[in-house]
Amino acid sequence: AAMAWAARGGEPSSLPAAVADAVLSKYASLPKNGKPQAHEYTSLAGFALTDDLTPDAPPVVVALGTGTKCLGADRRCSEGLALADSHAEVLARRALVLYMYDEIDRLVAAGRTRALEKPRVSIFRPERSEKTSVGGAIARDRTRPWCSLRPGVRVHMYVSQSPCGDASIFRARTSDDATNASTAVPRVNKRAKTAANLGAGSTGAKLLTGAADGPGATDAEFGVGAQRPGAARLKPGRGARTSCMSCSDKMCKWNALGLQGELLSSVVQSPVRISSVVVAAPEGGAEGGAEG
């Protein structure tokens, strides 16, 4: 089953299932190398595109990522030679950025290709440079971004479990919920299960230093009480404390500033935002709910 939170309305109800099927099918088609064994566990994230030019076509998967690891703050490399955050959501987004670079290359190449060759259309389109007034003279501003996401192209994200951080704050289960879950759900979302074991609404993600609002506002941990939504959090983990923000916070940043990142912002005119997020849930797992 799949639950979806859409950043904007108007999406067909079958879209979450289509996005989930597309990502899972693409992952299943990959070689076994690097995939977890039967006794191992990992998280999967992916990005898929839909295009109004082909409304009947299934979502096209363009980026995948798996992983649950993150380096402790003491192991981060100041030269940038070690990947600090290897959570699936972050790796999938890095793959998506690489795909965007390829699409911009395709857009540039299309401008040099003969019309008869009809290359595949890029997800980006060129934008005319704006004219600005410099000392009373009109000149074209060539420092501004020169392309944008094509109208009708939408980016959808799939994750196989709730992202760490605020998205993993679950409603406390009642005794009836626990009874139903133990008898009817053999497989449980790992983070939902962790929340149930540690206490009401526990994410395991640590509050960012200074995020608490004054004395007495420190976030509850390990079942002392419900965690407060809306606070900036670091990645959870049993080892050394990390300095990486939680996936929930990073996804919030991506949707505010765009998935393209700072470097591509000098080329892409408008932020590339997520149209919908699809989160997998086991049967009966949705009853736990989410807070905030």
Residues designated catalytic: 89
Helical segments of the chain, H only: 15-29, 88-110, 175-184, 190-198, 247-257, 261-264
Please tell me the distance from the alpha carbon of residue 192 to that of residue 198, in angstroms, as a whole number.
10
Closest to 62 (Cα-Cα) out of 75, 54, 76, 50? 50
> Beta strand 153-159 with 274-280: parallel, antiparallel or unpaired?
parallel
Cβ count within 10 A of residue 286? 15
Give the orientation angle of helix 88-110 with respect to helix 247-257, to 10 degrees. Answer: 20
Decide if 159 contacts 68 (C-beta within 8 A): no
Looking at this protein, which amino acid is placed at residue 267?
Answer: V
User: Going by C-beta distance under 8 Å and a sequence separation of 6 or more, which residues neighbour residue 203?
Assistant: 164, 165, 166, 168, 169, 191, 195, 227, 233, 236, 246
Please tell me the distance from the alpha carbon of residue 89 to that of residue 84, in angstroms, as a whole number.
13
- Paired tokens of 21: 């099927």
Looking at this protein, which amino acid is placed at residue 258?
Answer: G
Q: What is the layout of strands, in order, in the sheet containing 2-6?
A: 2-6, 274-280, 153-159, 44-51, 60-66
